[in-house]
């Protein structure tokens, strides 16, 4: 006998994952068939990404379902912002340890609130049972042909920019683990990372290379450096961080991930356009420059001196 509070698979999908989501006019067929069908847009390219979050690795298993859903969808949607994409929709694969109504209601509400904020249509998914909660979300969106913001386009002489403060979510982690239900203070930044969906699109004609910072500023900067065959040199004191410059927490701020701000490079000729954007996006900061490839892919400088970096500079699963 199933628990009266728990729901069967198809009832669950119908009730929580089939209505109330932003609808895209490009969606011909969404939840309910074997595949979703999306009409292609002339002169646009489809960009796609998938992101998985595992309970007790990416979020505390005991966190409120609303917060788990918000964070999962925001983190997945961040990859669209990083490419400068116009959001279209997402698929959700969820493995659940149970199917309790109250939990699902809150999860579905969090998912809808986040999806509607970014105009992401729920296109379909997969629902399974497992010992631990695992959430995989694939997202997709459009970019005008040839204009996606890639990691391998940084040019020597570019400025380096970040879209807002780094390190809030990393510094929140200790509090979040102690009290997973709190959204006070820094925990807000952990559960509701401020995805730069609009700014990402505005950067399309301005930026050369771009990515979202999910594993720590320095480690992620190395990805742009390696893909573009350049060195990214940061002016350490110019990086907007949650902790005071060179305080112990400062290293944690620039090494920690989870803020999902954008890191991008742009020609110095774009400084005027970017300073105009700073009036609306006040966190936008110029933090360094792109050099011809040196021995180190990423350098931090202060008073013209290169700071030595800690050995492990960001998050890695293995």
Q: What is the DSSP string of 27-53?
A: EEE-BTBSS-EE---TTEEEEEEEEEE
Q: Which stretch binds Mg ion (CB under 5 A): 16-24, 33-41, 71-79, 80-88?
A: 33-41
Residue ranges in 28-67 that form contacts with ligand ADP under rule CB under 6 A:
31-34
CB under 5 to 8 A by kind: which of Mg ion, ligand ADP, none does 125 bind? ligand ADP
Stretch that binds ligand ADP, among 25-33, 144-152, 167-175, 218-226 (CB under 6 A): 25-33
| Contacting ligand ADP within 85-104 (CB under 6 A) | 92, 94
Smallest distance from the beta carbon of 33 to Mg ion, in angstroms?
A: 8
Strands 44-54 and 27-29 come out as: unpaired
- Closer by beta carbon to ligand ADP, 112 or else 252: 112
Does 184 help bind Mg ion (rule: CB under 5 A)? no
117 binding ligand ADP? (CB under 6 A): no
CA–CA distance, 275 with 288 (Å, rounded to integer): 15
Within 211-240, the residues that bind Mg ion by CB under 5 A are: none
Q: Name the CA radius of gyration of the chain, rounded.
A: 20
User: Does 139 interact with ligand ADP (rule: CB under 6 A)?
Assistant: no
Q: Which residues of 228-261 are buried (b: 16+ CB within 10 A; e: fewer)?
A: bebbbbbbbeebbbbbeeeeebbbbbbbbbbbbb
The b/e string for 143-174 (b: 16+ C-beta within 10 A; e otherwise) is beeeebbbbebbeeebbbbbbbbbbbbbbbbe
Partner that binds at residue 94, options ligand ADP, Mg ion, none, CB closer than 5 to 8 Å by kind: ligand ADP
Between 111 and 169, name the residue whose CB sits nearer to ligand ADP: 111
Our measurement of the distance from residue 79's CA atom to the centroid of its chain's CA atoms, rounded to an integer in Å, reads 5
The residue (of 112 and 208) whose beta carbon lies closer to ligand ADP is: 112
Query: Which region, judged by CB under 5 A, interacts with Mg ion, from 28-36, 141-149, 250-258, 263-271?
Result: 28-36
Query: In 3D, which of 214, 312, 197, 226 has the Cα closest to residue 257?
Result: 214
Q: Indicate which single residue of 17, 66, 142, 250 sits in contact with ligand ADP (rule: CB under 6 A).
A: 17
Distance CA 259, CA 270 (A): 25
Q: Which residues bind Mg ion (CB under 5 A)?
A: 34
Q: Which residues bind ligand ADP (CB under 6 A)?
A: 13, 17, 31-34, 92, 94, 122, 124-127
């Amino acid at each position: 006998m199933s628990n009266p509070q728990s729901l069967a698979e198809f009832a669950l999908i119908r009730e929580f994952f089939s209505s109330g989501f932003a609808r895209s006019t490009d969606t011909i067929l969404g939840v309910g068939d074997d595949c979703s069908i999306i009409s292609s847009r002339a002169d646009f390219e489809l960009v796609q990404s998938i992101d998985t979050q595992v309970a007790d690795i990416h979020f505390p298993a005991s966190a409120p379902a609303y917060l788990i859903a918000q964070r999962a969808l925001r983190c997945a949607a961040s990859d669209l912002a990083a490419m400068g994409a116009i959001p279209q929709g997402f698929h959700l694969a969820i493995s659940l340890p149970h199917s309790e109504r109250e939990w699902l209601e809150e999860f579905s509400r969090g998912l809808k609130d986040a999806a509607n904020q970014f105009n992401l249509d729920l296109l379909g998914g997969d629902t399974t049972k497992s010992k631990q909660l695992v959430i995989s979300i694939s997202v997709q969106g459009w970019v005008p042909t040839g204009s996606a913001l890639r990691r391998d386009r940084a040019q020597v002489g570019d400025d380096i920019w970040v879209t807002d403060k780094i390190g809030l979510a990393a510094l929140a982690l200790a509090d979040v683990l102690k009290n997973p239900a709190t959204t006070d203070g820094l925990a807000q930044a952990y559960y509701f990372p401020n995805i730069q969906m609009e700014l990402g699109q505005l950067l399309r004609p301005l930026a050369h290379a771009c990515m979202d910072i999910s594993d720590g500023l320095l480690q992620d900067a190395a990805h742009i450096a390696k893909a573009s065959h350049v060195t990214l040199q940061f002016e350490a004191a110019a990086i907007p961080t949650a902790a005071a410059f060179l305080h112990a927490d400062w290293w944690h701020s620039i090494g920690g991930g989870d803020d999902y701000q954008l890191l991008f490079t742009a020609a110095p000729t774009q400084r005027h356009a970017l300073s105009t954007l700073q009036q609306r996006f006040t966190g936008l900061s110029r933090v360094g420059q792109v050099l011809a490839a040196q021995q180190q892919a990423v350098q931090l400088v202060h008073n013209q001196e290169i700071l030595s970096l800690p050995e492990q500079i960001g998050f890695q699963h293995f």
